Structure 1
Amino acid sequence: MRYPQGGGLTAERQAFRERIRIEAAEMLAVGQENVVVAKQLRVSARPVQRWRRAWRDGSQQALQPSGSPGQPRLSETLFAVLEQELDKGPVAHGWPDQTWTLARSKTLIGRRFHKSITLSAIAQMPHRHGWSHQVPARRALERDEEAITGWVKETWPCAAIGPANRPG
């Protein structure tokens, strides 16, 4: 659960919720009904239904917390492999140009690691490792670099000064 202040659950609150789940597992083990468990633990019936399902599938250990949802989906070693794959370039992986997009990165991760990661998580992943996104510069085919350089050196300084302050 996330809060607008930017934090998650405190350590005490996590421990409290874990105790509730353990108590629920003990009650489910003796055969108490969902409604009774929910009323005694002062929770709604919905989480008790989920806990019963998890408990039935994997006993009390299935009710242990699964960890922070903010943990990266790729381990450090898998990210190192991903970096090597990205260094090969998109053309090596079957795309027609040399542009890595989020969608292409997602496809590569799915093909290589059999994991599905959201586009926003993929966008954040490189930043955690010191990468930044790059946008290719779009340049007109008719672009004349010499004309641009001359304009910047001669015309732009006059335009920047303004008509009132022009020499002459």
Structure 2
Amino acid sequence: MILISRWIRCVYLRCPITLQRGYAAAASKKNPAGRLVYEAPYAKAILPLKVVSIATSVGVIVGTPVLVAYGNTDVPIAARIALSGLLMTFGLGTTAMCHWCLKSYVTRMFYDATREMVTVETLSLFSRRKTHVFHVRDARVYEGSIGFANFQVNNKPFFVHTEVFKHKVLLAKLLGTYV
């Protein structure tokens, strides 16, 4: 039980478990170069949303077989399996849609003007920070099908709130003529 509570705190706080000191040392070397030029206005709301979404998906994965095995015996097993499949479809489908919509959401962006390098942080499926480092000249206007994306780098979409982006020169370089 203690390990589960430590793991939940670790996932929620995005800090490594103390047994993984090597990982913590490696993560500290990844500090982005440059200055912070953008911080997403909804970053603090998206992190708990994704954590709750994953937690409910795990609950659905664990709970539906229990409902099939120990459910009401008056209901035929085929109906219990069908209901279990329906619950898993909705439980996992909402998590998949949440991840599909938010995988390109930039939570923080750092810019090194001397080298024109950009470091972008996004959140993975399990709410872990993912860091993407690229040169400004590699950015293009996004032309794909994800609803929340306004530029791309090497076919990876990214979304920033242009109305709160304060560094307008960098925004013009990232988005091209669509500023």
TM-score normalised by length of structure 1 = 0.28
Does 1 or 2 have the higher relative contact order (CA < 8 Å, sep 6+)?
A: 2
TM-score normalised by length of structure 2 = 0.27
Bigger strand fraction: 2
Which has the larger Rg?
1
Bigger helix fraction: 1
